[in-house]
Structure 1
């Protein structure tokens, strides 16, 4: 039972290649062609969302950041959002539920932030290991705790996103598998209504988790800028 339940997250290989990883790029093909032609309501809506995200990320990054910082985070947000929503479509592979994808997003960002911070702001990075007002006797322990906290950041980012996507998909699949065993129409109606409500909740989770991932990444970058 559990093997079949988790099989929805197994990459299927054809001709020696895991072709369903290409689902992470399906968002580019689903964008209406008029988006690339000229101005319309869809492009205005996307521009409005991007401008709002730019203002929020600009505040989070701080005055030390450049305009390119917000562009990176906006692109990352849209990429994760597309993948989260595509995963809710039946028979579409959910790339954002795999640590291979989430770690590939979180680890390079964290490494770039750490490399830039230690290379250009070494004094600030050393000072960040010991919070202001820490007693002298606790300083070695605080350095150890802060170091561990910095090292596990990419793991927590990746696990948070993957675990939330996996949990919702497992509930949807588990409820969907019970439909064939329901003999009563009233129970089946309740099951369908529950799935619709859960799908609505998962749509909200897809947006929230994309936003949380990018906000935490921008906060990590603000510490080293």
Structure 2
């Protein structure tokens, strides 16, 4: 079923490149591999892969420059695979337009799950139908976008307009890390203050309302210093 998906791997560490290529081929994906940024950009421009796995520390150019270049003309999913673990590095790549960020070392299950999430989200965005008319569902939490109604185990949860906008945005992007800046721009507009305190306050209120145990969240996860990720929609699993 994955045969229709082509994945470009841009990675200069041979052992990691070989590992990812073998893993993806074993799971039915078509793969192309390159070891430099310039070769990667050439393949992207000529073949338009369905997804890009990108190392940031390439020998000829920084991976962030590739993200910026690709985002000038296509929304093709980009998953960063990097040894850079700093919050600043993650935020920078995600804000430039990367869809996800995996730090080395990583396992097969994590890699495949992130790829499935990014491909599903890309397919939804490319659909001609209105984005996410179907309700979001996860472990008893249901968000009906048409009715603007959130329920947990059948009980309605009352959200303020701001809280609803936050939850709806994260639900539409479920399974992906959304940076603080992207959430704030979507909810309060592109010229909002960079101080994310108001977002943190609203998220704390939302968690108190929807999490069965706020100290052990099931639905809204924090990527410290980077942003938030909402539990993946069960409709898409």
The TM-score with structure 1 as length reference comes to 0.28
Give the number of the structure whose alpha-carbon radius of gyration is greater: 1
**Which structure features the higher share of strand residues?**
2
The TM-score with structure 2 as length reference comes to 0.27
